[in-house]
Chains A and B, each alone.
Chain A
Amino acid sequence: MTLAGPGLTADPDPGLVSPVGAGLAIETSGLAMRFRSGQLAVDHIDLAVPPGSVYGFLGPNGSGKTTTIRMLLGLVHPTGGSFRLLGTEADSGLDTVLPRVGALVEGPAFYPFLTGRQNLTRCDAADPTADLATAAARIDHALDQVGLLAAADKKYRAYSLGMKQRLGIAAGLLRPRDLMILDEPTNGLDPQGTREIRSLVKQIAAGGTTVFVSSHLLAEVEQICTYVGVMSTGKLVFQGPLGELRGRGEPRILIRTSDEATAAQVLRTLGLADIMAGQGQVTAPLGGHAPEKVNAELVGAGVPVAGLETVRPSLEDLFVALTGEGFDVNG
């Protein structure tokens, strides 16, 4: 698979690229959406998506991710705040900037009675600034990039879910983009399909395109993201480099033993707090203690230590902690 193709260069001559400049790819300020029901679906969020990043937009279902994406693409009108897309103020109209943005919103949506190629032709035909001379080549190239060229003439209704998602991404690849907005591109996919999408996103990002990808499963996107924003009930509860989120996790000591009571007692004596015991395990935040010293104390106190390790909470755990769905190492 190659990114080079007719009318679609992965990273065209820098002089040709519409400059994103030093500005952010997406910048929102107090962006809000209150539904008619009164529910505040998006609660004054300030997104800052650096150009060239792969930004993971995370949060449980119903946390306002899709509504935010719909606002960014001009499908729904914000009830508060403002935003800039690739440096263009939304109030001045998105039609001039949207051609530079590829999008997949809330799952792929195509005509079931048309083939994959006919569906992409339809999308391209709707584009008032598409390059007419290269249409057929661009469509084939987009199909090739997502590995659907062989299935291009099959009806969309005969596609598997993974193929449908990939066709959705192909629609975003019909022309060179400065920004790709992908809403839950891995939703409902098996691990194989998820891997395919991940490698596609990596490819797109490698071409210099900023990728804004939403997911309710951190594990599915953490390998590709450089930045993350975490949504919880309409609020942006974290935003920053992925490493910063990782650094938030406090290491814990985990001891496997048949004598939980004595082990817990030893930890308490050492000054560890928040000790949890059960199912043959005792855990506590390590604080500044050296694990080997803790081990020596345990053995000295006659605790039968079957195993001892330091664990950092997984990103998934941190994510769940941020989005307020309970936090329990013993899970």
Chain B
Amino acid sequence: MSTASQAVASGPAQPAPSAVTPGPAAPVRHWFRLFRSELRIIFRRPRNLALLGLLAAAPVFLGIVLRINTPPPGAGGGGGPSVFVGQIADNGVFLSLFTIYVLLPVVVPLAVAVVSGDSVAGEAGLGTLRTLLTVPAGRIRLLLTKYLAIVVFCLAAYLLIAALSLVLGAVLFPIGPVTLLSGDTISLAAGLVRLAMIVIYVVAALAALGAIGLALSTFTQHAIAVMAAVLVIVIVSQILDAVSQVAVIHPYLPTHFWLAFDALLRNPIAWANVLHGLASFAVYAVIFLAVAWTRMERADITS
């Protein structure tokens, strides 16, 4: 074993050990490093990669099925996703809208439930939460970083879905100017802008759901319990939203405004609906982030 003097002499010119200078020298750079590390944990976990693979498979499956058995133009005049199905034969852009619509109620929330369950409860179950907190990562610093990583995951999930279905739509179907729900036709470029706005809207909806999942995640060390609870919330909310007898609570349900993105497919855009939806998501996010914050600050880590 080398002696202290050798240690100092043999080492390269060293900066003073960081223990000597307490307090973050570069808080932003250090935070960004933690954030990247969080993203790596999410995107390296085999289970999450399988989920993203599942999400990617959806547009491929739907595209091929609709190519083989293309609905006649203008088919499906009813509400819901059939609005988009009828237009796919004419315009591949609608494959993208159709996929976004179909995956929103259950499939993507499942992925968000998994990631938010892993975020705190999963780390507690694995024991890595105590490892990180004794580093010390900082309880609230870690929590907020984890929330931001969940939001990035939601964004990545929908960018993947939108981009892949757009490419497939262009390959499998003709593509051109987009006919809106209000009957107006806008250029393909303007249509893609609308598509981008829709992605931002649904990511905001999922970010609110992620806050709910994060809050639940601080109460248990069983990630699976959080996943189940988030899915129950999503499904019960949608069932209640379909029961007209409880219409009075509909605007307060977390999923009520999820599909209101069709407002972005009209001319002029029904901004009131869009903003109402975004406000609802913001309120949900703030409330549940506050719950998560309070809980994280005080909780005893016994896992």
Chain A residues engaging chain B, CB cutoff 8 angstroms: 1-13, 16-18, 70, 73-77, 94-96, 98-101, 103, 105-114, 118, 121-123, 125-134, 171, 175-178, 203, 206-208
Contacts and interface: CB of A to CB of B under 8 A. Distances in A.
A177 to B, nearest CB: 7
Given A109-B127, A127-B136, A128-B30, 4 more contacts: A98-B134, A99-B18, A125-B37, A126-B137
B44 A128 contact: no
Contact of A122 (B10, B25, B31, B37): B37
A99 B20 CA distance: 10
Given A8-B17, A16-B17, A203-B1, A132 B30 contact: yes
Contacts of B298: 77
Interface string B110-140: 0000000000000000111011111111100
Given A3-B1, A70-B301, A109 B130 contact: yes
11 contacts: A3-B2, A76-B301, A98-B136, A109-B130, A110-B131, A113-B44, A125-B36, A128-B31, A132-B33, A175-B19, A206-B1
B46 A113 contact: yes
Contacts of A203: 1
B138 A74 contact: no
A4 B132 contact: no
Contacts of A13: 8
Contacts of A74: 133-134, 136
A112 B137 CA distance: 20
Given A98-B135, A105-B130, A132-B30, A10 B19 contact: no
B23 A96 contact: yes
Contacts of A95: 136, 138
The 4 A-B pairs at the shortest CB distance, nearest first, are namely A109-B127, A4-B7, A11-B4, A126-B137
Interface in B1-26: 1-4, 6-8, 10-12, 14-26
A123 B127 CA distance: 13
Contacts of B21: 129
Q: Taking each of A113, A126, A127, A175, which has the highest tally of chain B beta carbons within 10 Å of its own beta carbon?
A: A126
Given A74-B133, A130-B30, A133-B15, A9 B7 contact: yes
A77 B300 contact: yes
Interface string B146-163: 000000000000000000
Most buried by A among B15, B29, B31: B15
A33 B71 CA distance: 68
Given A111-B126, A176-B19, A7 B14 contact: yes
Contacts of B302: 70, 75-76
A289 to B, nearest CB: 47
A113 B47 CA distance: 10
B18 A3 contact: no
A6 B14 contact: yes
Contact of B301 (A18, A75, A108): A75
A234 to B, nearest CB: 16
Given A100-B19, A114-B44, A175-B17, A128 B27 contact: yes
Contacts of A114: 41, 44
Contacts of B301: 70, 75-76
A18 B4 contact: no
Interface string B265-303: 000000000000000000000000000000000101110
A127 B137 CA distance: 5
B20 A18 contact: yes
A98 B135 CA distance: 7
Given A98-B136, A109-B131, A7 B2 contact: no
Contact of B17 (A3, A7, A118): A7
Contacts of A70: 130, 300-302
Contact of B11 (A9, A100, A123): A9
Contacts of A127: 30, 135-137
Contact of A176 (B17, B30, B127): B17
B34 interface: yes
A76 B128 contact: no
A184 to B, nearest CB: 13
